Amino acid sequence: MKIKVSNLGPLRGPAEFDLKPLTILIGPNNAGKTWLAYILGSIFRSHSILPYMQGDELENISKHYLPLTKAVDELLTTGATAIDLCQFSDEYSETYFNTIASRAPEWARIFLSTRRVFFHGLEISIKLGATKRQIANRILASSLKSNIGLAREASDIDDDGKLLLSINKRAGQKDVYLYTFSEGQIDEKLPHELIEERLAWNVLRMQHEALYSNVEFLPTERATFITSRSYLSGKPIAPVSEPVTSYLDLVAAIYITGAKTTIKREKDAKIIPAVKEYIQLAELLEEYILGGKLDFSTIDPTPEREIIFQPTGSTQTLEISVASSMVQQLTPLVFYLRYFAQPHELLIIDEPEMDLHPKAQVQILEFLAMLVNAGLHVLVTTHSPYIIDHITNLCKADEHTDTEKEAIHSEFFLQDKRAFIAKDKTAVYLVDNGTIVDAMDDELEEDTFGKVSDSIADIYFKL
Residue-wise pLDDT tens digits, 326-363 = 999 999 999 999 999 999 999 999 999 999 999 999 99
How far is it, in rounded angstroms, from Cα 440 to Cα 372? Answer: 18
pLDDT in the model for residue 230 = 57
Quote the pLDDT of residue 450.
65
DSSP one-letter code for 121: T
Statement: residue 187 has pLDDT above 60? no
Considering only CA atoms, which of 103, 109, 89 is closest in space to residue 55?
A: 103
365 C-beta neighbours (distance < 10 Å), count = 29
Q: What's the CA gap between 147 and 144, in Å, rounded? A: 10
Find the mean pLDDT for residues 434-440. Answer: 92
72-112: pLDDT as tens digits: 889 888 889 999 999 999 999 999 999 999 999 988 999 99
pLDDT confidence of 156, banded at 50, 70, 90?
A: very low
pLDDT at 43: 95
pLDDT per residue as tens digits for the range 216-258: 999 999 998 888 765 555 555 566 899 999 999 999 999 999 8
Instruction: Name the average pLDDT for the chain.
Output: 88
Beta-carbon contacts of residue 189 (< 8 Å; ≥ 6 apart): 150, 158, 164, 182
Q: Rounded to an integer, what is the distance from CA 228 to the centroid of its chain?
A: 24
Q: Is the pLDDT of residue 279 over 80?
A: yes
pLDDT at 376: 98
Angle, helices 85-102/56-64, rounded to nearest 10 degrees = 140
Q: What is the largest CA-CA distance in the chain?
A: 93
What was the pLDDT predicted at 154?
A: 41
Would you state the pLDDT for residue 229? 65
In the prediction, which pLDDT does 184 show?
A: 53
Lowest-confidence region among 10-14, 48-52, 357-361: 48-52
Predicted model pTM: 0.91
pLDDT, tens digit, 9 for 90 and up, residues 131-151: 999 999 999 999 999 887 644
Q: What is the rounded average pLDDT of the residues 192-214?
A: 90
Domains and CATH numbers, the chain: 59-91+121-210 (no CATH), 212-428 (3.40.50)
**Per-residue pLDDT at 153:** 41
Burial of 37 from C-beta contacts in 10 A (0-12 / 13-18 / 19+): buried
Output 117 or 60, whichever has higher pLDDT.
Answer: 117
- Arithmetic mean of pLDDT, 54-74: 78
